[in-house]
Structure 1
Amino acid sequence: MADEERGPDMVSLRELARRLVSDGVVERITHQRISQLARDDADFPPVVPVGRSSVVDYRKTRPYFANRKSRQGAHGPEEADVGGVAVDDVVRWYGEQLNEDEVGAQDCVTRDGRWRALGESVLDDDNAEVVTLCDLADAAHVARQDPARVLREIDANRRRLERHTPQLMVGRDSNEGAPSTYVLGCPTCQAGVVVEGDWPCEEVRDMLVSYADRPGYREEWRP
């Protein structure tokens, strides 16, 4: 039976985002990004207001996003904006820094990636000299930053980022019964009232600032 004969399948913008991902139409998208497209793209299917919420016909919006994905090609998944901050920009950039550090650390690994100081020299776990310095304290410090420790920290920071990646939450100005008014917030830090623009949360900002000297870091991310 054709879609027209079955009638419309009206869903909220939040439900639309969930179904687009569940059905494999897009890799990731939020209702806020959908709201932005509905506002800015003249080709977006009609949005119907229902009280303080908005609904759309899934049978019409699914082809819209499928066609949009094919037009975008290699541009990647939809980006969610939080108070003007593109979530994908933050996550992608931080991930690139971790990946760069990981490659550098793995290039230095012999067996377990553990170093030790011997006088003014730093030795790897094969007792090969890594570097000789002019100060005992310097050698001890370098040895403490061995590849094994760097790799552990990278793994820990990836887990931290996963815990602090934002999700839709009821905001200060949200109507709890109207998902289209929800905002993105940190599920770990912001258990109370969420205000749009609160993300990156302080934890993520502290993670980002450790790479403040690298290209691509933005001052608005600073704690």
Structure 2
Amino acid sequence: MTDLVTWLRAQLDDDESGAQAIGPNVQLDDPRLTDGEIAHVTRWGRTRALAEVDAKRRHIARWERTNALLAAADNPGAIRNELLSVRRAFADVIADDALPYADRPGYRDEWRPA
């Protein structure tokens, strides 16, 4: 799972960089834009791209907080089982979040949600 999180963070960084580079008031007929930038704006729009990146990063942060709770606490059985269940749920969400990037280099079929 750690490899998936590392890989997904790199994809999110790439999306964020692309959205930030465009700027908030881009004109699609601006001759300074590259074909890739025009495609990005047409597909996403800056605001949506940044919101998607933020949401996925929050999913990763929640998974990491759950891992930290499991590692740091001497939890009784019931609490530990609940934390394990929460961690599994966030792992599934992260796998879902990564799926739109499955066509990018480095994606592994073992990460594909069931």
Which TM-score applies when normalising by structure 1? Answer: 0.35
What root-mean-square deviation, in Å, do the aligned CA atoms of Structure 1 and Structure 2 show?
Answer: 3.3
With over 3 angstroms needed to count, the CA separation of the structure-2 counterparts of 1:129 and 1:218, relative to structure 1, is same
SS of the aligned residue for 1:215 comes to coil
Structure 2 gaps of 5+ residues are 32-40
Richer in helix (by share): 2
> In 1, distance between residues paired with 2:13 and 2:110?
23
Residue 51 of structure 2 corresponds to residue 152 of structure 1: yes
CA contact (8 A) 1:102 1:151 kept: yes
> In 2, distance between residues paired with 1:189 and 1:100?
26
The 5-angstrom pairing of residues 45-56 of structure 1 reads none
**Residue by residue, what CA displacement relative to the aligned partner does 1:165-184 show, whole Å, maximum 9, x if unpaired?**
35238xxxxx93xx9xx8x8
Misfit runs of 4+, over 3 Å: none
> In 2, distance between residues paired with 1:208 and 1:96?
11
> In 2, distance between residues paired with 1:129 and 1:186?
50
Task: Tell which has more relative contact order, 1 or 2 (C-alpha 8 A, sep 6+).
Answer: 2
Q: How much identity, in percent, do the aligned residues show? A: 36
> In 1, distance between residues paired with 2:15 and 2:105?
14
> In 1, distance between residues paired with 2:98 and 2:22?
24
With over 3 angstroms needed to count, the CA separation of the structure-2 counterparts of 1:186 and 1:164, relative to structure 1, is farther
Aligned residues: 95
In the alignment, what sits opposite 2:62? 163
In the alignment, what sits opposite 2:16? 102
User: Which structure has the bigger radius of gyration?
Assistant: 1
Richer in strand (by share): 1
In the alignment, what sits opposite 2:100? 210
Which TM-score applies when normalising by structure 2? Answer: 0.64
What letter corresponds to residue 106 of structure 2 in structure 1? G
SS of the aligned residue for 1:129 comes to coil
